[in-house]
Amino acid sequence: MAGGPMPQFTKDESGRPFIIVRDQGRKQRLHGTDAVKSHILAARTIANIVKTSLGPRGLDKILISPDGDITVTNDGATIMGQMEISNHIAKLLVSLSQSQDAEIGDGTTGVVVLAGALLEQAAELIDKGIHPIRIADGYDEACEVAVKELDKISDTISFTKTDRTNLTRVAKTSLGSKIVSKAHDQFANMAVEAVLSVADLERKDVDFELIKVDGKVGGALEDSLLVHGVIVDKDFSHPQMPSEVRDAKLAILTCAFEPPKPKTKHKLDITSVAEFRELQKYEAAKFAEMIKQIKDTGANVVICQWGFDDEANHLLLTNELPAVRWAVAELKARQGRGEGRGVLGVDCMQTGSNDMKKHFVIDPLISKRQQLLLATQLCRMVLKVNNVIIAGSGEQDY
């Protein structure tokens, strides 16, 4: 309590005591132009952090979690998702990046940088005496014009499941700034093959939940491969079972591999050796029956959703049925179903040409449109807040 406000002790009309603490003097209040500028500063700070990770010359960031886990990335969604941010305006930019990622899956860094640039220009206009709402209205009108212009200058890239040349070139462009760029062709072909294997081209839809990425420690990037099927990262339940089974036919058990039990609460009393041996015979007969049912299906590998005891494990081994238990949470992948306008960019790779179309640098129309709309909406939200009450002694305690 040293240096803090002294509490006062008093009583109400009924004689009940209570304490009054004066803390209003510790609160700071920002309003008007000062409040708007503080919001813009917070947003620009976040935008400047991710700005240097944009493009093929983008730099990586090292993110260290509270547990000490280290992540090295230049992906905007990953950077924004792992940063610990206390400022509420800055958190809006994180939500902006997450919205772009959820809706489009691309352009997460660009939308934050765009919003930061718009707010930076808004600060200059505010200094000139223009009202924040007028600025937001102007941004809305400019966004409508920009979206219409995008529709005019956009091109259509044709591809089919057999002709994947353009898709592969797009994938190579996207991977140019990633750590896998040294294995460009391999990862581009893997990405295209994975997407087309689950894409519904008639509906123009891709269920990305059907594509999973699993990483393993050791090896090189070139050891990566695409698996058309399911990866179960589990060892067989018994060390003497074969380590490799080809032409496997799987029996997937969604129930426990054990003798049936009543679904209600039950109690079994065994009072003699004969009764115990009878129970053993019953369990052995049930296990034999279950194994016969599995073998009758033609399966040669058993995957059990739940566990099973050592006796069941031994019976599976003796009947040459390799088995995996507790496999539900281990499913890692599944397989199911005018000139110059819009083409000129910065030659950051120093190729001698600013024609982005020539380099096949592609930005999806839906992604760019979404960036403009989201960034404009965020600017309006930030510019409309003109009153901030900061509670506590520190300026960040709000």
Alpha-carbon distance of 289 to 153, in angstroms, equals 69
* Distance (Å, whole) CA 48 – CA 44: 6
Taking each helix axis as running N to C, give the angle between helix 165-174 and helix 184-198, from 0 to 180 degrees, rounded to the nearest 10.
Answer: 120
- Could you read off the pLDDT of 194-228 as tens digits, one per residue? 888 888 888 777 877 788 888 888 888 888 888 88
The pLDDT tens digits for 368-378 are 778 888 888 88
Q: What gap in Å lies between CA 264 and CA 259, rounded to an integer?
A: 15
CA 260/CA 286 separation, integer angstroms: 8
Helix (H, G, I), strand (E, B) or coil at 359: coil
Round to whole Å and give the CA distance between 270 and 290. 25
In a domain, 54, yes or no: yes
336: pLDDT strictly greater than 50: no
| Euclidean distance between CA atoms 210 and 199, whole angstroms | 10
How confident is residue 1, by pLDDT bands cut at 50, 70 and 90?
A: very low
Q: What is the mean pLDDT of residues 169-197?
A: 80
> Is 47 domain-assigned?
yes
Domain assignment present for residue 245? The answer is: no
Three-state DSSP string of 150-208: HHHHCCCCCCCCCCCHHHHHHHHHHHHHCHHHHHHHHHHHHHHHHHHHHEECCCCEECH
Looking at the fold, whether 95 and 211 belong to one and the same domain comes out as no
d(CA 42, CA 119): 10
Is residue 270 located within the same domain as residue 281? yes
CB crowding 98-118: b at 16 or more within 10 Å, else e? ebbbeebebbbbbbbbbbbeb
Q: What is the mean pLDDT of residues 329-340?
A: 38
Considering its fold, how many domains does the chain have in total?
3
Lowest mean pLDDT among 154-168, 253-267, 383-397: 383-397
Identify the pLDDT of residue 331: 39
Following DSSP, what letter does each residue of 75-138 receive, concatenated?
-HHHHHHH-----HHHHHHHHHHHHHHHHTSS-HHHHHHHHHHHHHHHHHHHHTT--HHHHHHH
Quickly state the pLDDT bin for 391 (edges 50, 70, 90): low
Q: 354 and 226 in one domain?
A: yes
CATH at residue 60: 1.10.560.10
Mean pLDDT of 92-100: 83
Task: Return the CATH number at 320.
Answer: 3.50.7.10
Weakest mean pLDDT among 118-122, 243-247, 393-397:
393-397
Q: Classify 384 as helix, strand or coil.
A: helix
Cβ–Cβ under 8 Å, residues 372 and 363? no
Q: What is the pLDDT of residues 128-173, one digit of tens each?
A: 888 888 988 999 999 899 888 888 888 888 888 888 888 888 888 7
Q: Is residue 174 exposed (0-12), middle (13-18) or buried (19+ Cβ within 10 Å)? A: middle
How is residue 372 written in tokens? 């403009």
**Residue burial 200-230, b: 16+ Cβ < 10 Å; e: rest:** eeeeeebeeebbeeeeeeeeeeeeeeeeeeb
Q: Is residue 66 part of a domain?
A: yes
Mean pLDDT of the chain: 76
Please state, in angstroms and rounded to a whole number, the distance separating the CA atoms of residues 20 and 9.
Answer: 6
Q: Are 381 and 92 in contact (CB under 8 A)?
A: yes
pLDDT band at residue 356 under the 50/70/90 scheme: low
Q: Is residue 242 part of a domain?
A: no
Whether residue 177 is found in the same domain as residue 210: yes
pLDDT band at 333 (very low <50, low <70, confident <90, very high): very low
What confidence tier does 395 reach under pLDDT thresholds 50, 70, 90? very low
pLDDT at 26: 56
pLDDT, residue 335, reads 31
Q: Say yes or no: 125 and 167 in one domain.
A: no
Question: CA 157 to CA 392: how far, in whole Å?
Answer: 56
pLDDT at position 44 over 60: yes
Mean pLDDT of 96-105: 79
3-state secondary structure (DSSP) of residue 347: coil
Assign 3-class secondary structure to 231-275.
Answer: CECCCCCCCCCCCCCCCCCEEEECCCCCCCCCCCCCCCCCCCHHH
72 and 206 both lie in a single domain? no
- Please, which pLDDT band fits residue 93 given cuts at 50, 70 and 90? confident
Beta-strand relationship, 301-304 and 323-324: parallel
What integer pLDDT is reported at residue 329 of this predicted model? Answer: 42
355 and 376 assigned to the same domain: no
Asked if residue 372 and residue 352 are part of one domain, the reply reads: no
- How far is residue 184's CA from residue 141's CA, in Å, rounded to a whole number? 41
Same domain for 147 and 89? yes
Which pLDDT value is given to residue 305?
A: 75
Lowest mean pLDDT among 24-28, 71-75, 303-307: 24-28
Residues in the chain: 398
Flag whether 13 is in a domain: no
DSSP-assigned letters across all residues of 196-218: HHHEETTTTEE-GGG------SS
Residue range(s) defining the domain that contains residue 64: 28-156+364-390
Domain shared by 226 and 190, yes or no: yes
Question: Is residue 36 domain-shared with residue 71, that is, in the same domain?
Answer: yes
Are 36 and 142 contained in the same domain?
yes
Residue 8 counted as domain residue = no
Is pLDDT at 52 greater than 70 in this prediction? yes
Q: Is the pLDDT of residue 186 over 80?
A: yes
pLDDT (0 to 100) of residue 397: 41
In a domain, 2, yes or no: no
For residues 360, 365, 368, 374, the Cα torsion angle rounded to the nearest 10 degrees is -160
Q: Which segment of 53-67, 124-138, 229-243, 380-394 scores lowest on mean pLDDT?
A: 380-394
